[in-house]
Structures are given as structure tokens and as C-alpha cells.
Structure 1
């Protein structure tokens, strides 16, 4: 499924440029993806579309942070307090694993993943197969959430999400 998601991300830079599911399914099939992989990816993308439907993200280029605002004022909720802490359920901890939870916390601390967006990432990660979710798969999920909302991560974050750390030498 994740190979299909990467293909979609690389070939359709914005979610609004992505073809309808039937046409996308034919294109993916023509590129050699298995029917089951395509079906799983399309179901996952449908869930992503539903999760991000009422969310509008904006980037503050001065700070490099992303802010979340509901599309309609009636949907406004109280912002998360800077002193608040997200407590993960036992099933979330098991499904995401320590490495992925640490990466989510790193993204939050870097102001790349606001709390509303984090919840979409966690929800979509919980919908992904495999337990625990691999860090590379979580990075794809984060990219797809950004892709779906139309906000491209800045270059350093994009590098962190796309590059493998294997073979890197820490200084």
C-alpha cells in the first residue's frame, strides 16, 4: 500500500490534481501495482480525504510553522494549550511503537505538526496495516497528510521525511 501512496505523492503534487478513484485505479494498475494494494491505498486515501475535509492549513513562513484553522467559524475549537500533553492509548502505543511516537513528538516540537494535524496523522497511522507501523511508513503518512491539505513541508522537513538515515554519519 505504501508504494502506491508514494507513487501518488510523486506523480500528483497536490491532492486536487489527483484523478478520481476509478481513473487513478486504472493508472495504478497500468503501472503494475497489484489490485489488493490499489484497493487498500484508495480506501486509505478516501479516509484521508474525509479526515482533512474541514481543515485549512496555513504556513507562517517567518517562523516556518503550520497553523490549522477550521474552514467555517462554527467549527472553531479552543486551541491546545502549550502546556498540554497528548496521552496515547495503549492500542495507539502498540500500533505506532516508540520510534514513531518519538518522531511525532519531534515534528510537534519543531512546529511542523500542529495538534489538529497530529491527530489526522495518528488516525491515518492507526488505519495503516502492520503493528508497529515502521518509521518510514509513518513518514509517508505525514507526507500524505501534508499533500492532502495542500501545504508542502519546508525543505528541511521534506528532507527529514524523504531521506533514509541509513548510511548517514552523525557529526
Structure 2
């Protein structure tokens, strides 16, 4: 499923190509690309849920917290998000790439993935997908892109 999400993001969304609106056409295109029907439906459902998360009422527990609140991870989240991933999320909050809402969207979408070994690089892609799909976060998306794709030149001191 995660491979399909990456395929869609790289080939349609990120490249600014025209995205298929019709699910049947998109499903057919993905089958032609070699993906399984079951995984395709899971990936499309994942994307639909991401769109649903843009409504703050779907994340009601955010309205009760302030920016000074600390995020306590559940046991399942701790299993999926290792120390490096959690540290990266905190770093992105500190530099204002993620806010409370987008952080929770990212965690929600990470937990919805059907993936065994989740790594920091996977998290970065999920963050990009979330930020790309949330209106008003264009500068955060650009900043995240720069963090991922801009390789420093020369030796690091």
C-alpha cells in the first residue's frame, strides 16, 4: 500500500501532472503499473481519510491543547515511531513545519499504513503527503521539501 502512495505522490501529485478524478480510471492505471487491487483500494482509502482529516472537528482532542502541551505517544505509536522518528516530529514542530493539527494528521496517517518496518524516510514521505494536501501549509511543504531534497554541498563542519 505504501508503495502505491509513493507512486501516486511522485507521478501525479508531486509532479503536478493532472490527477485522475475517476477512481476506476486511477485503479486501472495502478493495476497496469503492477499494483494489486487490494492494495490499491487501501491506498485510495488512506488518501480519502487524509482529506477527511482536514476538518478540525475530526480531531476534536486538538481543541483542548495549547502549543505548550506535550505529546504522549500510545504504545502502538511507540512501536511504529522509533526515537528517531519521534525526534524528527518534535524538530519539525520546533521549526514550525508542523503544528499540532498537522502533527496529529501525520501520526494518524502513519498508524493507518499497512507497513512492517517503518523508518524515518517513510515518515518524511508521509509528512510531505500530509502537508501537500492541507490548504494553507504551502510554505511548510516547501520547507519540508528543502529539508529532504536539498543536499548540503561541500564538507560539513
2:2–2:113 contact (8 Å) kept in structure 1: no
1:41 aligns with 2:26: no
| TM-score when normalising by structure 2 | 0.76
> What count of residue pairs does the alignment treat as equivalent?
148
Could you list the per-position Cα deviations for residues 123-152 of structure 1 after superposition, in whole angstroms to 9, with x for gaps in the alignment?
111111235521111111111111221433
Instruction: Provide the C-alpha distance between the structure 1 equivalents of 2:9 and 2:46, rounded to a whole number of angstroms.
Output: 13
1:18-65 residue CA offsets vs partner (Å, 9 max, x unmatched): 52322221122223333343233112112212222x15xxxxxxxxxx
Q: Kindly report the root-mean-square deviation, in angstroms, between the aligned alpha carbons of the 2 structures.
A: 3.0
Task: Show structure 1 runs of 5+ residues with no match.
Answer: 56-69
Higher helix share: 2
The Cα offsets for residues 93-113 of structure 1, whole Å up to 9 and x where unpaired, read as 112111111111111111011
Measure how far apart 1:157 and its partner are: 1.9
Q: Which has the higher contact order (CA 8 A, sep 6+)?
A: 1
Structure 1: distance between partners of 2:63 and 2:45 = 31
Structure 2 unaligned residues grouped into runs of 5+: none
2:86 corresponds to? 101
